[in-house]
Amino acid sequence: MLFSSMIFLWIFLPLILLFYYIVPNHWKNAVLLLASLIFYSWGEPKYVLLMIFSVTYNYFCGLLLEKHRKWFLLAVCVLVNLGVLGYFKYFNLAVRVLNMACGQERLGFREIVLPLGISFYTFQILSYVIDVYRGEIKAQKHYGRLMLYVAFFPQLIAGPIVKYKDIEHQMGRRVHSDEKTFYGIRRFVYGLGKKVLISNTVAYYADLIMNAELFQISSGLAWMGAILYTLQIYFDFSGYSDMAIGLGKIFGFDFQENFRYPYLSCSIQEFWRRWHISLSTWFKEYLYIPLGGNRRGKLRTYVNLVIVFFMTGLWHGADFNFIFWGLYYGFFLVLERLFLGELLKKNRIKILNRIYTMLVVIVGWVMFRMNFSHGIDYILHMFRFTPGMNHLGNTFTLKICLFGGLGILLCGPLQRLLPKWSKKLLDETYCSAVEMLLLLGILFLCVVMLVSDMYNPFIYFRF
């Protein structure tokens, strides 16, 4: 079930809100837990059992680790969690690698359906057991609260990745207020607008261009496709995060921001401090720092960065293009640590820094989207700067000019030009009649486009 679906907007969400606000406080978590299990099992009923197994197993692991803080107990717990994730997500990739290494087909592939959100909820539960082992939090004795932490439907499918220690106290007692509820509605509607009005629109044209044979498109059109996909993935994922944060606010939870206008970055280091913040901080806290971070010399720091971004790529998908995409970013981060970062800091013409960063990011998204060989061919085609043949017709329509231009403005430049307006977007106490009319207009347009059965893909459902 998508947030941007009619059944969620007009049936599921209103019913949950109705029951949530009429039941006594001590029943509110039960309502949310039941709603979350229904939400998750809507499309894949059998895999809700896998999630229940994961929670149950880690519930007892947490109790055991709190009583006996032994590294081998933690190791077993982590290996079982990663083993389950590895089987569903990486089994066929491992078979491919093994067969390639042997030069013949030694093992056969299996038809394995990837459970929705397994990467997200596995990382959440890992952060819980690791923090219990570290003594940073106490093991949760209430099974239902731990289940709600993992299964909570706003962030279950595509994040943000919420660490238990950040919402531990909110599970038992949280603040509900009219201001918080209205702010949650604002964030949800803005996120819905990002997804439906901008991401879905540019996605149609991005797919049209990037799915074409290269002889059909010019280098200029290839660049357009890559730029449109760059907008699509930002508004798709940040829109979903906004909706998740907004829903969390409505139910009294405070989730961390997951995006801070990453396309305004002046370096790749800055980009990863602004993009998918919950994933970046997870890898920093639970992998980079335990590996030694930057405390064991420059060479070890570079190795640690490459390992972290290799794992970042692998987390996103079980294919070589994702691994290459992660290593690609690891290369630029090491390069910036070596010398490029200092040059970028000294450069006073910041627009050049932003051009460099966006070139790296746009090329990276091409790798991310396509299989390895096709992605390399597409990138080479972009840099040939040949007119080529265009058999796609007039893709440069008024509609894509309007929504593409709107997307470029709203992914950071307009917020930078109007800082007071940007600040009001994150102000939980701000409310105006003009904004209420704007929200109603956005909601109306979203409904119109969804009713018309518009193109409605969602990128991060695959992860």
Residues 326 and 317: their CA atoms lie apart, in Å, by: 10
* Number of Cβ atoms within 10 Å of the Cβ of 418: 11
Token couple for 295: 């405390």
The distance from CA 284 to its chain's CA centroid, rounded to whole angstroms, is 16
Say whether 316 is catalytic. yes
Phi-psi region for residue 410, left (φ > 0), alpha (ψ -120 to 50) or beta?
alpha
Q: How far apart are CA 54 and CA 427, in angstroms?
A: 37
* Token pair listed for 132: 């219990």
CA 198 to chain centre: 17
Give the C-alpha separation, 5 to 461, whole Å.
14
Tell which residue, 136, 126, 247, has the closest CA to residue 183: 247
Three-state secondary structure string covering 377-427? HHHHHHCCCCCCCCCCCCCCCHHHHHHHHHHHHHCCHHHHHCHHHHHHHCC
DSSP 63-78: HHHHH---HHHHHHHH
Three-class DSSP category at 112: coil
Place of tokens 């229940």: 52
Of 396, 22, 463, 458, the residue nearest 200 (C-alpha):
458
Q: Is the Cα torsion angle 234, 240, 246, 252 positive or negative in sign?
A: negative
Backbone Cα Rg of the chain = 23
| Cα–Cα distance measured from residue 123 to residue 311, given in angstroms and rounded to the nearest whole number | 13
> In whole angstroms, what is the distance from residue 374 CA to residue 365 CA?
13
Closest to 301 measured CA to CA, from 247, 251, 341: 341
- Residue of 169, 176, 316, 374 with catalytic role: 316
What is the CB neighbour count within 10 angstroms for residue 421? 10
As annotated, the active-site residues are: 316
